[in-house]
Structure 1
Amino acid sequence: MICIVVGVFIYYEIGTIEILSQYGLGTWIAVSTNLIFLSAVSAALIPILFEGLQTAIVKENKLRTDLQYEQARLKASVEELHQKNKELEQFSYTISHDLKEPLRMIRNFMELLERKYGDQLDEKAHSYIHYATDGARRMAESIDDLLEYSRIGRLYNNVEKVDLNSMITEIMEPINSKDNPESVRIEYSDLPRIEAVPICMKMILQNLISNGIKYQPKGQQPQIKISAKEHDTYWEFAVADNGIGIEEEYQEEVFNLFRRLHTRDHYAGSGMGLAISKKIVEQHGGEIWVESKPGGGSTFYFTVQKNMDKK
């Protein structure tokens, strides 16, 4: 404070100090006074600024440590989830495979029983045999579908260039070779060649086409249209049909495992087709959904990421 007062007196020439004028010390004292003042201010502010900077550094280090910890936890959780999925798929495969043999024995012995002793059995016994063999057959079909589901991403994972036009022609050959080749009308053209797992793409197209053919009002000609739209990083496909449609409340449920909206008496199937399709689409980095109205047909959309060979 004294330095400030002296500096002000000298700067504004308040009063005269003869010795300062004689030796020209006024300017020197003024400069020195300012330097002393600045040093004092610095001495007072630097600890405050340093403390604030130190606090900021401590907080930043804590945030960095917390972030690294959470990233490590997330990585561990993802790895654990992948491991659990692999274990679940292996479990499904093992159980499904082991169940097929006793089912095969049931069917074989029931059929043998009917052939050998059929003339000794009454109508009720024949119906029991039919229920047993039919139940074993349907269970075997469900097991086969479950096995296919477990193979996606585990065995079916080789990415290749896929010509979808040729693939759909191949899918339609057994359908068109039936007695009435005009029973199904399908439209598609200029579909792209994409990078995908061939067997998986064939499975999803087979599922969606067969659903469009199967879920029809009685006596109506199935009409299916397949189209594609290119986006920057993915392809979007649409498979539209003129079938019975799906109510809005079930449009997400239909992609669940073994989810059926109709009894087998009305429409055959295991309820696994769309679940398999969903897993295939997710394997290809995409999404699948349906837009439909009861009685107005359904359009299934799914996307496939480009550059699958780099994933």
Structure 2
Amino acid sequence: MEKYLIKKRKCAEEKEEEVAEDIIKSKRTCVEGTDGDVTVKPGESETSRPGHIVESEENEVRVEKSYFLPACCSVVKTLFGDEAEKEVKKIPLSNDTIGRRIKDMSSDIEKSVCELVKDKMFALQADESTDIGGKPQLLVFIRFIDDKKITEQFLCCKELSQTTGQEIFSTVTEYLVEMDLTWKLCVGICTDGCPSMVGSVKGFVSLVKKENPFLITTHCFLHREALVAKTLGQDLKFVLDNVVKMVNFIKSRPKQSRLFSSLCEEMGSAHEGLLLHTEVRWLSRGRVLSRVHELREEILLFFALEEKTEFCELLADEIWNAKLCYLADIFEHLNKVNVSMQGRNENM
């Protein structure tokens, strides 16, 4: 055993020496002149030269390529082999390489779209929404005729400081000026009909019409359908509200959600969980109702175990279940209509 350990120790020491030699060679390589010799300034030792170069080099990427990367590759090759060295060489040296490439691609697409739409009539579709960080974002799509075909492209996404009509108008106007476009060529605007968009005095559309009085404005068909779906009678609204409460009771608590999933699995159900309803996602309402209808027996048993008598009484009521079935069917058809109106080349 002792001989084995001594042998392993010698092998490790030899590897360390080889790694040290490779690092020294890589340091000398990065400071070599055109004639292959190391250039040393007066009063400066050769051993301090690599550190001086790293500190004074203006281009950090060049330093990493000539100094840091060869050393890392040498170490990895010695310890792990050629395959590991190839993987190390694939690592980007800059911390924002991917971000820079995305920006370059975005800029190229933006220039291409602006060149296509230049001096042509166009229509805009604008919508303001809030991202996951709570910041308002303005999304703008553009539609124009190119080579006798209607072309639709994503135009821009801009962060807003305020969600007012004046702020939206200023943001879009600045962008159009930057892209060498004008409101005079805009023939139509489609919005979701909110006050900041269609307000009669300070709405976005009203401000644009001051620049182009002949502008045609439309209300998004999808948003109209979503608004109609929100208009429910008191009886049906009572059913929907209770369904949301049931789902939230199970999904908002991780422990309850795990217990319900285990119950569904033991009962051999087609699904092992419920879906959350989100107001922003219009299709979610129909999917939530359908899932609750399909798992109503499992939900009833779960609430019985949890001693939730209020929910148990509702789920055991035949009239309440009939209204649930009706809502699930109606919203399923509304979702189909909603989906059919989406996508390119769809005409109303």
Q: Same fold (TM over 0.5)?
A: no
- TM-score, normalization by structure 1: 0.24
Q: Which has the larger radius of gyration?
A: 1
TM-score by length of 2: 0.22
